[in-house]
Amino acid sequence: METGRLEAFADGVFAIAATLLILDVSVRAPGAGLGQAVLHNWPEYAAYIVSFVTIGIMWINHHTCMRLIHAADRTFLVINLLLLMCIAFVPFPTNLIAAHLHDSGLRAAALTYGVNLTITALFFNLFWFYAARGRRLIAAGADPKLISGISRSYIPGAPMYGAATLVALLSATASVALYALIAFFFLLESSIFGGTPVADGA
Amino acid sequence: METGRLEAFADGVFAIAATLLILDVSVRAPGAGLGQAVLHNWPEYAAYIVSFVTIGIMWINHHTCMRLIHAADRTFLVINLLLLMCIAFVPFPTNLIAAHLHDSGLRAAALTYGVNLTITALFFNLFWFYAARGRRLIAAGADPKLISGISRSYIPGAPMYGAATLVALLSATASVALYALIAFFFLLESSIFGGTPVADGA
Amino acid sequence: METGRLEAFADGVFAIAATLLILDVSVRAPGAGLGQAVLHNWPEYAAYIVSFVTIGIMWINHHTCMRLIHAADRTFLVINLLLLMCIAFVPFPTNLIAAHLHDSGLRAAALTYGVNLTITALFFNLFWFYAARGRRLIAAGADPKLISGISRSYIPGAPMYGAATLVALLSATASVALYALIAFFFLLESSIFGGTPVADGA
Amino acid sequence: METGRLEAFADGVFAIAATLLILDVSVRAPGAGLGQAVLHNWPEYAAYIVSFVTIGIMWINHHTCMRLIHAADRTFLVINLLLLMCIAFVPFPTNLIAAHLHDSGLRAAALTYGVNLTITALFFNLFWFYAARGRRLIAAGADPKLISGISRSYIPGAPMYGAATLVALLSATASVALYALIAFFFLLESSIFGGTPVADGA
């Protein structure tokens, strides 16, 4: 099944990219100071949570798109591949932010993270609009309101991440706070306005 | 299929989190002392086994729940995501316990592990009760006795891990022993009272 | 589907355990000496190949079993979990052998590898015979000759690995050579006596 | 389903091998110099992109083959395993090239990468021609033009990588540039001449 394997490969990359984030959480301290060191290490946990949620939200969105997309051509496979390449890159700038939250490297780390996420959001738009344009790859019976709803909700992603990236030029801390806010905004938006249950097999 | 991809993503995270545990098992020693060093390294093997079994039991439980859940809404996807975020975190405190089993850092390590597992158990409750409440996401024909059986069996998880965490304040060693006991209790309980076989496709 | 998720989780662990082996292949050398260092590093490539093939053969065997097994109970899920725990452990002794192929640590490394593989083979027997005993979990229409053929072919695994492990007490090098031979014996046996094609959906 | 699990295992290895590439991207620098260090680290990003795309293109090709292949025998499982073993090896020479792009080790790194990719391309040919020869494992209704189209398009892979490998003897830089060119040639070829959409379930 054409889209079945696309989804299996995508699920694999999403799951691995999210789970690999834990490799960057570590504390090395002598026994006597371990408690202190574990508490002091909070930037790594915060970075883990924000990036896990960010990747997870993208997985939910990918999933939402694929429920309406019932075919794939090779161009779409390539776009999907480039999107996954951006997502699998997220652990790198996440690690930079965690490592430099308390020093002057935070600006460079925040810019790297923001550029990564902005490009990812652009590829996500390309992914969706390539499929949705003229209903190229959309299932025959799909509800037009669902399609235009997704289209509307995906447009702000890239500008939001782009703006948060530019904020890093003024204040790295504000920029990092914005990345966290964007992640939790999408999380809340998903879980509160989550719509009606969708039956298995729909 | 709505729950199909949720399960694929979850299976990926469970499998990766469990398999990544091996990255924290390593022995570096000169050739002449290797045999001794491999034996002396038993805390890392024990930690590997306990955490692999713990994650595996959670996978079995997730699987048991999903056999009755035949729909998902976005809120449920988000709860599932947060549950997986807790499970993918387990390698970190596992590593702390293995590294500090013989020194005064064990208390901090045991507390970290216990807090991680208690929060995970709470999210597991949220995951199940969100779906089961008023049969919100439960398959139409599901047996009410199965549903209430799961509900009953999931309630003790969080208090058990919470209590084992508090024990760490008195004795870190006792707390770690309790984590291992809980894992093997669930393992035995599953394998001995495993119920009747369930046909493929049921 | 009961066995569907068991297979998905197992496929994940097999794939990750095999792919993680590459993390133990690395060469750090100054530019001028890199060519020499890459060649000199052959034990790591050999260990990678032997363990990848060993894990891969086990995946093929798991797959062969599951084609006949159409149901699972919780005991079987637990046995499967313990089997996967052993397989996910393989990267650790693989790394020991690669690191100590040229020094006196090889005996300890070979014993560790052999104990790991022998226990894995025992769990594989448990996995198969639990399902096959009295056709407990076997599909209704499964050919009895196929079942007894698998039973016959799985009995030698544990004694073979056990014997190769004991050989390490006499000669570590001979033991390591035997592990490689066993892997390639199963590989050739599979690919030459591969039987007739099995239709999709069978 | 015979080919279903082959694809699940393959998807896992492809996804993990691609996603693990990020572990070799890292920057350690004091805060003040981080911006400079992140920019100076471009060879690691370039290596990440080229290898992610290379593995991704192979996944697309594997996928294209498997849409026509509807059965598997054990020989085919073994060939598939050896192909995956080569693909999971790609992170190692990728890392060598990134680490030595600016020093005299680039020749050895480029040769290692080229040998890896050439052998991979040979196994890919074996994979396809074993299945296609006399339509051994091909679905009954598969279009002969599609089959011969794939056969034609897979022949140049190994010679192209072999030639790029030999170029490393003259100029390591030219060889590395060729690897990148081959990857982007296949990417463009896929996305521009991507053919018509293929319906879900086809």
Which of the four pLDDT bands, split at 50, 70 and 90, describes residue C54? very high
By C-alpha distance, which of B101, B127, B113 is closest to B167? B113
**CA atoms of B97 and B102, how far apart (whole Å):** 9
Residue with the two structure tokens 């293109």: D57
Q: In the prediction, which pLDDT does B155 show?
A: 85
The CB density around residue D197, as the number of other CB atoms within 10 Å, is 18
A20 vs D contacts (CB less than 8 Å)? 19-20, 22-23
Q: Do A190 and B74 touch (CB under 8 A)?
A: yes
B98 vs A contacts (CB less than 8 Å)? none
CA B161 to chain A, closest CA, distance in angstroms equals: 19
pLDDT at D181 over 80: yes
pLDDT (tens digit, 9 = 90+) per residue, B71-111? 998 899 999 999 999 999 999 999 999 999 999 999 999 99
A110 Cβ contact partners less than 8 Å away, ≥ 6 residues apart? A97, A165, A168, A172, A175, A176, A179
pLDDT (tens digit, 9 = 90+) per residue, C55-84? 999 999 998 899 899 999 889 999 999 999
Q: In the prediction, which pLDDT does D98 show?
A: 94
The two beta strands, B198-199 and A71-72, are unpaired
Which of the four pLDDT bands, split at 50, 70 and 90, describes residue C199? very low
As a whole number, mean pLDDT of residues B130-144 equals: 91
B95 Cβ contact partners less than 8 Å away, ≥ 6 residues apart? A26, B24, B47
Count residue pairs from A and D with Cβ separation < 8 A.
136
As a whole number, mean pLDDT of residues B157-186 equals: 94
Neighbours of B (≥3 Cβ pairs closer than 8 A)?
A, C
**CA atoms of A112 and C135, how far apart (whole Å):** 58
Q: Do A38 and B5 touch (CB under 8 A)?
A: no
By C-alpha distance, which of D175, D96, D102 is closest to C25? D96
Closest residue in chain B to residue A66, using alpha carbons only:
B1
Q: Do C38 and D78 touch (CB under 8 A)?
A: no
Q: In the prediction, which pLDDT does C197 show?
A: 46
CA A159 to chain B, closest CA, distance in angstroms equals: 24
Distance of CA C78 to the CA centre of its chain: 19
ipTM value for the complex: 0.90
As a whole number, mean pLDDT of residues B1-11 equals: 83
Q: Do D78 and C34 touch (CB under 8 A)?
A: no
Q: Which residue in the set A15, A56, A193 is minimally distant from B16, CB to CB? A: A15
Give the residue with greater pLDDT, D150 vs A34. A34
What is the end-to-end Cα distance of chain D in Å, rounded?
A: 17
Q: In the prediction, which pLDDT does A200 show?
A: 40
pLDDT at B52 over 90: yes
Helix/strand/coil for C198: strand
pLDDT at C191 over 70: no
CA C146 to chain D, closest CA, distance in angstroms equals: 14
Q: Do A17 and A92 contact (CB within 8 A), yes or no?
A: no
Which of the four pLDDT bands, split at 50, 70 and 90, describes residue B149? confident
pLDDT at B199 over 70: no
Q: In the prediction, which pLDDT does D4 show?
A: 84
**Which residues partner with B199 through β-bridges?**
C71
Q: Do B12 and C12 touch (CB under 8 A)?
A: yes
Q: What is the pLDDT along chain A (202 residues), one digit of tens a residue?
A: 468 889 989 999 999 999 999 999 999 999 999 999 999 999 999 999 999 999 999 999 998 899 899 999 889 999 999 999 999 999 999 999 999 999 999 999 999 999 999 999 999 999 999 999 999 999 988 889 889 988 888 888 899 999 999 999 999 999 999 999 999 888 887 665 544 444 443 3
pLDDT at D128 over 70: yes
Which of the four pLDDT bands, split at 50, 70 and 90, describes residue D195? very low
Q: Which residue in the set B31, B191, B200 is minimally distant from C74, CB to CB? A: B191
Closest residue in chain D to residue C49, using alpha carbons only:
D85
By C-alpha distance, which of A140, C163, C39, A173 is closest to D197? A140
Q: Do D105 and C60 touch (CB under 8 A)?
A: no
D78 vs C contacts (CB less than 8 Å)? 60, 187, 190-191, 194
B13 vs A contacts (CB less than 8 Å)? 15, 18-19
**CA atoms of A26 and C93, how far apart (whole Å):** 23
Q: Do A78 and D198 touch (CB under 8 A)?
A: no
Instruction: Break chain C down into helix, strand, coil percent, rounded to 5.
Output: 80, 5, 20
Q: Which residue in the set B1, B20, B73 is minimally distant from A194, CB to CB? A: B73
Residue B45 vs residues A67, B40, B165: alpha-carbon distances, Å: 43, 10, 22
Count residue pairs from C and D with Cβ separation < 8 A.
135
**Residue A194, Cβ density class (10 Å: 0-12 exposed, 13-18 middle, ≥19 buried):** middle
As a whole number, mean pLDDT of residues B117-142 equals: 94
C136 vs B contacts (CB less than 8 Å)? 197
The two beta strands, D71-72 and D198-199, are unpaired
Q: Which residue in the set C16, C71, C107 is minimally distant from B198, CB to CB? A: C71
Count residue pairs from B and C with Cβ separation < 8 A.
135
pLDDT (tens digit, 9 = 90+) per residue, C112-141? 999 999 999 999 999 999 999 999 999 988
D1 vs C contacts (CB less than 8 Å)? 200-202
A80 Cβ contact partners less than 8 Å away, ≥ 6 residues apart? A6, A10, A72, A127
pLDDT (tens digit, 9 = 90+) per residue, D20-54? 999 999 999 999 999 999 999 999 999 999 999 99
Closest residue in chain C to residue B28, using alpha carbons only:
C96
pLDDT at C14 over 80: yes
Q: Do C22 and D91 touch (CB under 8 A)?
A: yes
Q: Which residue in the set C11, C38, C197 is minimally distant from D73, CB to CB? A: C197
**CA atoms of B10 and B8, how far apart (whole Å):** 5
**CA atoms of D199 and A30, how far apart (whole Å):** 59
Q: In the prediction, which pLDDT does C130 show?
A: 95
Question: Taking all residues of chain C, what is their mean pLDDT, rounded to a whole number?
Answer: 90
